[in-house]
Amino acid sequence: MRRRRCWSSCCWVVWMTEVLRGLLVGASLLVTMQAGAADGGDDSRQRVEMPAQAVELLRAEMRAHTLALAEVSGLLAEGRFEEAAAAADAGIGFGSMGQQRGNPDAPGRHMPAAMHRLGIGMHDAANQWSEAIRSGDGKRIFAGYQAVMNACVSCHMAYRVR
């Protein structure tokens, strides 16, 4: 009983603060990316050449990952751990991988090896986050969330496709 009350009051506040912080960092990152591209300013990301169709697929997958993050956060806020874990697996984890198998425009085929490894690292981090969520241990859940966020950010800081 006491653990539940803690989760729904103090832990919830910490969680929402983390989520908001993550969203702010993500938003400012995208704004910085746009600004860098627009004024040709300090953008040290490596540009990866991909066919236009692969770029569109990559961007659509990215938007789906963002949506999944929001879905998992919402389910966690409601204490629906099992559904949150499933959503993390399906939307960001290995469940979201290989959907373009056999497609020559699959974004993964056009990534340099190091970038591809970052992508696999993101799927892996999401699956570990999912396990942490299933454990119901708040500390592990926050750590898992941070690892997923780090996976997004480390690739975004290193590569661009436009």
Residues in contact with ligand HEC by the rule CB under 6 A: 59, 62-63, 65-66, 69, 92, 115, 118-119, 122, 148, 151-152, 155-156, 159-162
Tell me whether residue 8 or residue 53 sits nearer to ligand HEC (CB atom): 53
Q: Are 141 and 76 in contact (CB under 8 A)?
A: yes
Q: Closest distance between ligand HEC and the C-beta of residue 142, in Å?
A: 16
Tell me whether residue 62 or residue 97 sits nearer to ligand HEC (CB atom): 62
Tell me whether residue 119 or residue 136 sits nearer to ligand HEC (CB atom): 119
Other CB atoms within 10 Å distance of the CB of residue 114: 11
CA distances from 55 to 26, 32, 63, 94 (A): 20, 20, 12, 20
Q: Closest distance between ligand HEC and the C-beta of residue 70, in Å?
A: 9
Residues 48, 159: Cα–Cα separation, whole Å: 7
